[in-house]
Chain A
């Protein structure tokens, strides 16, 4: 046995916790988050989106067109007015396509720049912004609100809280009212509101939608994103290492810590300090209460409030901006410039999402543009397949449902083709009232010579429906003609 001095092994000491982690319950009251108010590029953008979306939401029902509400979903008569368009329940496919477009839009934006929807346009974010704005008017900014919450009840606190709640309720009710205004003409609602004579369902939806707005934007806020929203959870599936996300550049920032204001950017390395001064502003402005410096977290809604906060601090210190910024994981690791990261935007995933989205949008735009303002369903009579009438002519009966999707009465003429000598034997003309729907019993006959020439069986025929004053090719609907044995 050779005695050899043992290599100096690293000393491993068990870490003895000074204080045992307190055990926690399975449920916990969530701490209210008071995000600090912030100004900056992205905050401005968010307010632009708040303005655009809410101008559309609160404003659209007030627009009039052709003496009616421009955008109205009339459930009772099942007519859906979108500016000049009149849609029937049969046009439901457009709603499906709208949802598909929204989904692909979400896929595309998320793949390119993360949760843009969540941070800037989602109603949850938008209404939370509005409710926060009201909260700030009554209770002041973050620190004032924290103090107010901790303080005992005083007259001042009571009126501030009451004023806030009253304003919230008013905004929420207005939101519910506007929502119902998309389904009942909003001018009618105004008249009804004078005597509070809303219908039962109008009452329900005003109050329910109002309550949902009040509860979600006033009280639930980030809880909705963290615990309820399915989008939040599956959007991470669309992230990859080239997705722009809100990130903290640890390489630049660490080691973080306070420093003298005089410490110039050029001297940071010598002083052994990173750019992060650990002011925690990024945490204070976060609406979901996370610390972005810990990296990408599922709670992050990509609102970039921390970017604005950090940029402000960097400006004050005369450090370059972008310690917290939109960057990709790859970009951060490889220290890429913004331009280099942007180049990666055009990757297969984005191109495929983009192409599919563009194709669907183009298809639906074309479909709406060339859409006929009328629609016809041909229903064969089932009771009587065929019958023989005077002169041995063979007759079949059909019912044509003609829907007029314009806002003026329209005149239609029905013809038939596809067999030798086939004619419409009944009245071929029909007037359909504005946005109305009428059915026309149509008797179609073929001469005995045709019946004998082609023999018994089921033959294809085509109905040709012309609209008066329409120079486009007429609508052609297929059906069959039965020649009995």
Chain B
């Protein structure tokens, strides 16, 4: 056992435990044999005249003590307790945990079995499945994406049909399982001067008909080719690399020129953590369908 520096400690603890139990037993035997004068008291006096007499205890009380000692020996024989001895049953809390988990998973499997063959579209119509999906979502996803799945600054809205990596059920399952890491590199140096950055930002704003300076946007058009590698020549993004569509007036990290300039200057790495170690594939199948349903008329509809 790694808790001990040397095997000596294990022996020490085993000996101390057994000696303690034997000591208790010896005490019981000695006191059982003791004889006292029933008229005498224990020497304890309270309130001046309240004496504690030597009244015998009921014998069953002692029997209870003996039972606990017998129990202790039986327990120590069967379960780990005597130093690093494993006990006859070979029980360990780690095993118990694994078994419990296996049992829970087996139970879970029966619940999810009927959903395995169903498509996301079918699941979205299944009230029971969507109730499970909602609970999974609330417990695992709502911390970032919000209880209503509409996200917030930096956390994508999952209800608007606008997807960074694609909104097919398969892609959603992929995203949930393995997570995503989206990187926008700092591009100011590649673009040139601060004026160039400003111009490109105006051009980006013009793509979605947001408020912008037309002349600056015109000037930035040519420089946008630097961005087109990811965002596409038309600025509609590329779901293969998670590059956002810049033309739809949906702004994950804030709208307006200042936010865009800041993004070009500093870049951004945004992470969707992988859930494969928290959720079973069957669960991801259901929660994925729930997320899919949010932009397809709502769960259960």
Mark A residues whose CB is within 8 Å of B: 21, 23-30, 220, 223, 227, 379, 381-384, 387, 395, 397-399, 426, 439, 441-443
With A25-B34, A387-B152, A387-B153: A397-B61 Cβ-Cβ less than 8 Å: no
Residues of A close to B144: CB separation below 8 A: 383
Out of B38, B59, B145, B148, name the residue touching A27 (CB < 8 Å): B59
Q: Is B98 an interface residue (CB 8 A)?
A: no
Number of residue pairs A-B, CB distance < 8 angstroms = 89
Instruction: Determine if B35 and A227 form an interchain contact, defined as CB atoms under 8 angstroms apart.
Output: no
Instruction: Determine if B34 and A21 form an interchain contact, defined as CB atoms under 8 angstroms apart.
Output: no
Instruction: Determine if B57 and A223 form an interchain contact, defined as CB atoms under 8 angstroms apart.
Output: no
Instruction: Determine if B36 and A27 form an interchain contact, defined as CB atoms under 8 angstroms apart.
Output: no
Instruction: Determine if B155 and A383 form an interchain contact, defined as CB atoms under 8 angstroms apart.
Output: yes
Return 25 A-B CB contacts under 8 Å, by A number: A23-B37, A23-B38, A24-B35, A24-B36, A25-B33, A25-B34, A26-B54, A26-B56, A27-B32, A27-B56, A28-B57, A28-B58, A30-B58, A220-B60, A223-B60, A381-B146, A381-B147, A383-B146, A384-B146, A384-B151, A387-B151, A397-B146, A397-B147, A439-B138, A443-B150
Instruction: Determine if A399 and B138 form an interchain contact, defined as CB atoms under 8 angstroms apart.
Output: yes
Q: Is B31 an interface residue (CB 8 A)?
A: yes
Residues of A close to B147: CB separation below 8 A: 379, 381, 397-399, 439, 441
Give the most central of A27, A382, A395: most B CB within 10 Å: A27
With A23-B36, A384-B152, A384-B155: A30-B146 Cβ-Cβ less than 8 Å: no
Residues of A close to B54: CB separation below 8 A: 24, 26
Out of A27, A382, A426, A439, name the residue touching B57 (CB < 8 Å): A27
Q: Is B271 an interface residue (CB 8 A)?
A: no
Within 8 A of A (CB), among B41-100: 54, 56-62
Q: Given contact pairs A25-B33, A25-B35, A426-B148, enumerate 11 new A-B contacts (beta carbons under 8 Å).
A: A26-B32, A26-B57, A27-B57, A27-B58, A29-B59, A381-B142, A381-B148, A383-B152, A397-B147, A397-B150, A441-B146
Q: When A and B form their complex, which 4 residue pairs have the shortest distance between CB atoms, in order from nearest?
A: A384-B152, A28-B56, A23-B35, A441-B148
Give the most central of B57, B148, B153: most A CB within 10 Å: B148
Q: Is B278 an interface residue (CB 8 A)?
A: no
Residue of B nearest to A425 (CB): B148
Residues of B close to A26: CB separation below 8 A: 31-32, 34, 36, 54, 56-57
Report the bound CA distance from A223 to B32 in whole Å: 20
Give the most central of B39, B58, B61, B155: most A CB within 10 Å: B58
Instruction: Determine if B38 and A382 form an interchain contact, defined as CB atoms under 8 angstroms apart.
Output: no
Report the bound CA distance from A27 to B54 in whole Å: 10
With A24-B56, A27-B62, A223-B58: A383-B32 Cβ-Cβ less than 8 Å: no
CB 8 Å contact bits of B153-177 with A (1 = contact, 0 = none): 1010000000000000000000000
Min CB distance, A290 to chain B, in Å? 14
Instruction: Determine if A443 and B148 form an interchain contact, defined as CB atoms under 8 angstroms apart.
Output: yes
Report the bound CA distance from A4 to B142 in whole Å: 109
Report the bound CA distance from A387 to B151 in whole Å: 9
Min CB distance, A436 to chain B, in Å? 10
Report the bound CA distance from A399 to B149 in whole Å: 12
Min CB distance, B65 to chain A, in Å? 10
Residues of A close to B31: CB separation below 8 A: 26-27
Min CB distance, A242 to chain B, in Å? 22
Instruction: Determine if A25 and B32 form an interchain contact, defined as CB atoms under 8 angstroms apart.
Output: yes
Residues of A close to B36: CB separation below 8 A: 23-26
Residue of B nearest to A484 (CB): B153
Min CB distance, B25 to chain A, in Å? 15
Q: Is B229 an interface residue (CB 8 A)?
A: no
Report the bound CA distance from A422 to B59 in whole Å: 74
Report the bound CA distance from A40 to B37 in whole Å: 41
Residues of A close to B186: CB separation below 8 A: none
Residue of A nearest to B134 (CB): A439
Report the bound CA distance from A29 to B60 in whole Å: 7
Q: Is B143 an interface residue (CB 8 A)?
A: yes
Residues of B close to A383: CB separation below 8 A: 142-146, 152, 155
Report the bound CA distance from A379 to B138 in whole Å: 12
Residues of B close to A441: CB separation below 8 A: 146-149
Give the most central of A25, A220, A398, A439: most B CB within 10 Å: A25
Residues of A close to B138: CB separation below 8 A: 399, 439
With A223-B58, A381-B142, A439-B138: A24-B38 Cβ-Cβ less than 8 Å: yes
Residue of B nearest to A440 (CB): B147
Residue of A nearest to B254 (CB): A388
Residues of B close to A28: CB separation below 8 A: 56-59
Report the bound CA distance from A223 to B63 in whole Å: 14
Residue of A nearest to B249 (CB): A390
Give the most central of A383, A387, A399, A439: most B CB within 10 Å: A383
Report the bound CA distance from A441 to B148 in whole Å: 5
Residues of A close to B155: CB separation below 8 A: 383-384
Report the bound CA distance from A283 to B288 in whole Å: 78
Report the bound CA distance from A138 to B145 in whole Å: 73
Min CB distance, B67 to chain A, in Å? 13
Report the bound CA distance from A382 to B145 in whole Å: 10
Residues of B close to A399: CB separation below 8 A: 138, 142, 147
Min CB distance, B155 to chain A, in Å? 7
Instruction: Determine if A30 and B60 form an interchain contact, defined as CB atoms under 8 angstroms apart.
Output: yes
Out of A25, A27, A379, A443, name the residue touching B61 (CB < 8 Å): A27
Residues of A close to B151: CB separation below 8 A: 384, 387
Residues of B close to A395: CB separation below 8 A: 150
Report the bound CA distance from A24 to B55 in whole Å: 9
Report the bound CA distance from A29 to B61 in whole Å: 10
Report the bound CA distance from A207 to B145 in whole Å: 51
Residues of B close to A442: CB separation below 8 A: 148
Report the bound CA distance from A395 to B149 in whole Å: 13
Out of B32, B35, B143, B150, name the residue touching A382 (CB < 8 Å): B143
Residue of B nearest to A220 (CB): B60
Report the bound CA distance from A125 to B62 in whole Å: 25
Residues of A close to B148: CB separation below 8 A: 381, 397, 426, 441-443
